Amino acid sequence: MQADFVIIGAGSAGSAMAYRLGEGGARVIVIEHGGTDAGPFIQMPAALSYPMNMSRYDWGFHTEPEPHLGGRVLATPRGKVIGGSSSINGMVYVRGHARDYDTWAEMGAQGWSYADVLPYFQRMESWHGQHDGGDPSWRGANGPLHISRGPRENPLFEAFIRAGEQAGYPVTRDYNGQQQEGFGPMEATIHNGQRWSAASAYLKPAMKKGNVEVIRAFARRVVIENGKAVGVEVERGGQIEVIPAAREVVVAASSINTPKILMLSGIGAAAHLRAHGVEVVADRPGVGANLQDHLELYLQFASKKPITLYKYWNLWGKAVIGAQWLFTKKGLGASNQFEACAFIRSKPGVEYPDIQYHFLPIAVRYDGKASAEGHGFQAHVGPMRSKSRGAVTLRSGDPKDAPKILFNYMSHPSDWEDFRTCIRLTREIFGQEAMAGYVKHEIQPGAAVQTDAQLDAFIGEHVESAYHPCGTARMGRRDDPLAVVDPECRVIGVEGLRVADSSIFPQVTNGNLNAPSIMVGEKAADHLLGRTPLPRSNAEPWINPNWRTTQR
């Protein structure tokens, strides 16, 4: 097959691009190192802690020892499978706040303000929340990506939302609509009881139509001749070959692998490339820089009532849930269990939310280890806009070597202050009347942990990544020396090469990154096809009118 476009990566953005480019009549080859997404570990929403920890589906990256976290090494999972990280993530669907995109535009990503990107979010969605509040005019009805809400049958979900209301916060019926700020139901990429990844939504339908092909191979570098990208060098079946692109090459390999591939292709900080024996094609010091993420803590509480998911946390319980899901696609197996959430502001003078909550009706860790105390529940909480920045760099000039990843987590003093605020605000929420019938005591950090020093010790030891890395090939003006791509996703200094995934985010968005990554793929496809972008939206998002003077 001769391809007009060759895309590296079958993840959130890559799959969306393949679908739209194929729909536009182009011939597309998608290169993916990982294999099939078939099987219950990926397809059953409640099994989400498994694929993230399976080497078959995950690249298995780790950070370097993080200097501000006492040298801790943190896992950095990235999907190595059809659908990429959308096949191993928590399935939480968050567009981000309107102001996130307005900030992007201010940072030089012209044409990516909220008014510009909202129509793309609407184009990609099939929203199933109409019967649960929210305004359908803000949402999409006919897109490939199905968005649903959990049933919230466990009374703890409603208690969490009520507690937020009692603490004086707004309630929002749709944080992906006009008003993000507040407590409300959480949305997920789950459809008919199954994970609805970018592979299910975009890639498989595109392959059925015939002009999109997926090649399973390891992408080594982009082949650049006379300043123009002409193809991708891959390793397949022990052989190294080049897959040619008649029009353009697009790198959509994740915020970890994309900068690595760019650097191995000769695009990056010149001195760094030369140090690893790579010939410099374009001196772009922004490649690999500007790495950001969200960190979170799990605040856990013991439950007075045996109503949490702990009662299923045994082999028999999991077998029953698994069997029910296999035969009916219903029951607890059909939910990611994140069914209530909140976005709040940390203090007066913050214009839009900078703290996110995921509520979970069990006390458990991402790796699937339950709390020793039995019945409990937890809130995942963390600041949205950390000032800390890290970098992805080459470990060597060998494509087989994993890159060096250093987030430089908690390197900015405000991060510690923000996390202490998160803990104190969370305790206040769980101290409300709505939670009184459920909260027995605080498991972690525990009631004894109160002073700044005690809280900081707890934070340093327990803070975890929310797995939202981005920013390592950021979008900006063509004359910005630290920008890697221009607002049409074109790599500055090379012809015929674009980047379209979470690498191009100038700043991390509010919430989980799967939705914005898919949106980038959708919008980039229009740029690749030379189409006029969708008309801007006139919708006015809600900003708390008293944000200058009040925290809630």
Give the residue numbers annotated as catalytic, written as ranges: 468
DSSP code for 30: E
- Going 62 to 46 to 468 to 513, the CA torsion angle's sign is positive
Cα separation, 263 vs 503, whole angstroms:
13
Do the beta carbons of residue 466 and residue 296 sit within 8 Å?
Answer: yes
Tokens linked to 550? 């009040």
Q: Which two tokens stand for residue 110?
A: 């012209």
Q: For residues 470 and 545, give the distance between their C-alpha atoms in angstroms, rounded to a whole number.
A: 31
Rounded CA separation 428/441 (Å):
13
Helix (H) or strand (E) holding 148: strand 145-149
340: CB partners within 8 A, 6+ apart: 152, 157, 158, 160, 161, 183, 184, 185, 186, 359
User: How far apart, in Å, are the Cα atoms of 136 and each of 94, 122, 133, 512, 542?
Assistant: 16, 10, 9, 22, 16
Q: Computed over its alpha carbons, how large is the radius of gyration of the chain?
A: 22
Query: Is the CB of residue 118 less than 8 Å from the CB of residue 102?
Result: no
Name the token pair of 192.
């008919």
Q: What is the chain's length?
A: 552
Cα gap 63→524, rounded to integer Å? 29
Give the C-alpha separation, 139 to 509, whole Å: 19
Tokens (6 digits) for 262: 């760019």
Give residue 99's Cα distance to chain centre.
Answer: 18
| C-alpha to C-alpha distance for 143 and 450, rounded to whole angstroms | 48
Integer Cα distance of 98 and 113 in angstroms: 8
Q: Is the peptide bond before 40 cis (omega within 30 degrees of 0)?
A: no
CA distance 162 to 66: 38
Three-state secondary-structure class, residue 97: coil
Rounded Cα distance, 527 and 376, in Å: 49
